[in-house]
Amino acid sequence: MLLATFKHISSKNADYSAAEAYLTFEHDEFTMKPTLDENGRLIPRQNYRISTLNCGNEDFAIACLRANLRYGKNQKREDVKSHHYIISFDPKDVPDHGLTVDLAQSLGEKFCKEHFPGHQAIVCTHPDGHNGSGNVHVHIVINSLRIEEVPFMPYMDRPCDTQPGMKHRCTNAAMKYFRSEVMEMCHDAGLYQIDLLNGSKTRVTEREYWAKKKGQLALDEENAVLAEQGLPVKQTKFETDKDKLREEIRMALSDTVSFEGFAEKLLRRGITVKESRGRLSYLTPDRTKPITARKLGDDFDRSAVFAVIVRNTKRVRAKTDPIPSAPAMQKTINERDTVSRMVDIDAAKEKGKGYEHWAKKHNLKNASRAYLLYQEMGFDSPEALAAACDAAHEKLSDIRTEMKSVEATIAEKKEFRDYVLNYHKTRYVVDELKACKKEKARQKYRDEHDSDFIILNAAKRYFDSKGLKKLPSYKALQTEVEQLIKEKNKLYNQYQTAKDEAQRLDTIRHNIEQTLGRKIERKQELER
C-alpha cells in the first residue's frame, strides 16, 4: 500500500481475543496464522503501540463479552461482532514528515475517540506493513455494540444510532465520511494524502493483492533456479489475469474513435465487452462469468471509456499532420477510414442463412473499401502492397526492440537508484558502531541493527560489482529514470501508431488476396 489509505473489515468472529493476538504477535502474511519460534511459542511483534478505550480496567475481550451479555446482543453466529478499520500512511511520511509510531498512535486514538464514541475499542500501531512496504499503519478494532449514548454523528442516518445497546453500521455514507476525515487528519498533521473520495483508477481487491503477492514470490523462486542454471529469465514481474485484462483494454482504447471500434479491437483479442444498464463488463476466453468494470477500476467504466473515445475523436479531427508512416502513404491514410477483414463464406454457411447473408454483404463492402484504399495509397501492384506490409512489420519490430532496450535501462537505473537510497538510509550504523567502545556493546548494536547492516552490505556489494568509486545523488538518478520513462512513453505511442498501420495494411492485403483468390508474393520472391 502506497499513500494514505483507509480500509474497513467486519468480523463475525466471537473470539475478541483473536483480534488482540493478531495485533500483538507475528502472523504469516499469506496464511494469516500465528508465526511460531523453534519452541512452538508465539513471536511478539516489535516496536508496536497499543491502547484500549472504554474498557475500564478490563481486557478488551472481557469488556466486549460483558457488554454483549448485558444487552443481549452479538449472541448469534451470524452477528457482526466487531469492526476493524485500518489507516495506512504513506511510507515517505517517515523520512519526509517525521512520522513516528507514537505520532501515528496518537492520531489513531484521537480518530477513534472522535468517530467511534461509546464503543469499546483497541487501537494498535505497527511500524511496517506486512508486505515490507515501510508504511506505518494504525489498526482500530471496535466492538460492534455501543455501550453509551453518544451525540448524533454526521454519518448516522437513524435516531437509534446514538443509543446504547445499538450496533455500529458501516454504510457507504459512513465510509465516505471516514475517508474525508482521514484526509483532513493527514492534512492537519502535514502528511501526504490522496483523494480518497473519488475512487481508484485501478482497483485491486484483497484477493487480487494476495494473488499478485504469491505469484510474484513463486516467479522469483523460479527465476532464481533459472539464474543458478545459467538460463535466461523470460519474465520478472508477475501479472494477474486482471492486470493482463486492464492492459488489453488500455491498448484497445488508446486510439479508438468509437465504442464499436473499441469493442471490435477487444474481440480480436478474444475479449467481449458488454454494456448493460450504463455499466460495462468484460468477458475473457478463459471465463464463463464477465468481470465488471467496477472490479477493475474507474479507468474501465462506461464514463471513463467514453471520455477517452471523445478525446481521441477530437484529437483526430484537429490533427492536420498525417499519421507517421511510410512516405508514400502518409498523405493518404486517414484514421477515419476503416476496413475489416473479409470472412470465410464456407464457414459462414455452417452458421445459417442469416449469417451467410450478412457475411456476403460484409465481404462485398470491405473488398470495395480495401481496393479503394489500395488505389489511394498509390500501389501499382499487389506485390508492392506485400512489400509495404513487410516494411510496416519491420518498423514495428524495430520500435519494439528499442522499447525493450529502454525498459531494460529503466530497470537497471531503478535498481541503482534504490541501492543508493538504501545506502544513504543505513550508513549511519557504521559511525554508531564505531562509537561503541566495548565489544559487548558493539555486538549488541550489531544484533539490534542486523537488518540495516544487511541492507548496507548489499548496497556496497552492488557498488563494488559495478566498480563504482563515487556515487551519484538519488535525485540525479530519479531524474534519469523519469526521462527514460518519458522516452518509453513516446516510443509506446509510436508503437501503437505503427501497429495500427501494420494491421490496416495486413487487412487490405488479406482482402485483396481473398478477392484475387491467391496469395500475394513479393516481386523479389517471384524473381527467385
Mean pLDDT of all residues in 161-179: 88
Confidence at residue 142, expressed as pLDDT on a 0 to 100 scale: 94
In this structure, of 206-210, 386-390, 491-495, the range with the lowest mean pLDDT score is 206-210
Residue with cell 480500509: 7
Mean pLDDT of 139-156: 90
**459-490, pLDDT tens digit by residue?**
899 889 988 888 888 888 888 888 888 888 88
CA distance 147 to 135: 33
Percent of the chain past pLDDT 70, that is, above it, reads: 88
**pLDDT for the residue 334:** 41
Give the model's pLDDT for residue 131: 47
pLDDT in tens, 418-474: 888 888 888 888 888 888 988 889 899 888 888 888 888 988 998 899 888 888 888
Please report which helix (H) or strand (E) contains residue 279, including its range: strand 279-283
Most confident region among 3-7, 86-90, 224-228 by mean pLDDT: 86-90
Instruction: Using pLDDT thresholds of 50, 70 and 90, give the confidence band for residue 336.
Output: very low
Element (H, E) at 87: strand 82-88
Instruction: Count the helices and strands in the chain (H runs, E runs).
Output: 18, 8
Q: In the structure, what pLDDT confidence band is assigned to residue 54 with cuts at 50, 70 and 90?
A: very high
| Other CB atoms within 10 Å distance of the CB of residue 324 | 13
Q: Which residues lie below 8 Å from residue 112, measured CB to CB, with a gap of 6+? A: 53, 121, 123, 140, 142
- Residue 322 per-residue DSSP state: P
Mean pLDDT is lowest, of 143-147, 274-278, 322-326, 515-519, for 322-326
CA separation, residue 281 to residues 142, 342, 407, 439 (Å):
37, 28, 32, 65
Name the DSSP class of 427. Answer: T
H or E stretch at 311: helix 302-318
The residue with greater pLDDT, 228 or 505, is 505
Phi, psi (deg, nearest 5) at residue 164: -70, 150
Least confident of 1-15, 268-282, 323-337, 488-502: 323-337
d(C-alpha 437, C-alpha 267), whole Å:
71
List phi, psi (to 5°) of 62.
-65, -45
Residue 508's φ and ψ, nearest 5 degrees, are -60, -45
Q: What is the pLDDT of residue 205?
A: 60
- What gap in Å lies between CA 136 and CA 452, rounded to an integer? 18
- Terminal CA-CA length for the chain: 61
pLDDT band at residue 191, thresholds of 50, 70 and 90?
Answer: confident
Residue type, 284: T
Of 124, 123, 119, 161, the C-alpha closest to 144 is 119
pLDDT greater at residue 194 or residue 302 = 302
Helix (H) or strand (E) holding 124: strand 119-126
Residue 189 clears pLDDT 80, i.e. is over it: yes
Give the Cα separation of 71 and 78 in Å (integer).
17
Task: Categorize the per-residue pLDDT at 362 as very low, low, confident or very high, splitting at 50, 70 and 90.
Answer: confident
Give the confidence band of 140 by pLDDT, cuts at 50, 70, 90: very high
The answer to whether 43 and 35 are in contact (CB under 8 A) is yes
Average pLDDT of the chain to the nearest whole number: 82
Q: What is the DSSP letter of 42?
A: B
Q: Which amino acid is at 47?
A: N
Distance CA 455, CA 485 (A): 27
Q: Is 273 left (phi over 0), alpha (psi -120 to 50) or beta?
A: beta
**Which stretch of 35-44, 198-207, 405-414 has the lowest confidence by average pLDDT?**
198-207
Cell (9 digits) for 349: 454457411
Cell numbers representing residue 143 in the block: 466492538
Query: Nearest 5 degrees, angle CA 335-CA 341-CA 343?
Result: 155
pLDDT digits (tens, 9 = 90+) for 22-51: 888 887 766 667 888 888 888 888 889 999
Query: b vs e for 387-425, b when ≥16 Cβ sit within 10 Å of the residue's Cβ?
Result: bbbeebbebbeebeeebeebeeebeebbebbebbebbee
Mean predicted confidence (pLDDT) in 328-350: 63
Within 8 A by CB and 6+ apart from 280, the residues are 273, 274, 292, 293, 300, 301, 302, 305
Give the pLDDT confidence score for residue 196 in this predicted structure.
53
CB 297 within 8 A of CB 203: yes
User: What confidence score (pLDDT) does residue 337 get?
Assistant: 56
Please name the residues in contact with 520: beta carbons below 8 A apart, sequence gap of 6 or more: 382, 383, 385, 386, 509, 512, 513
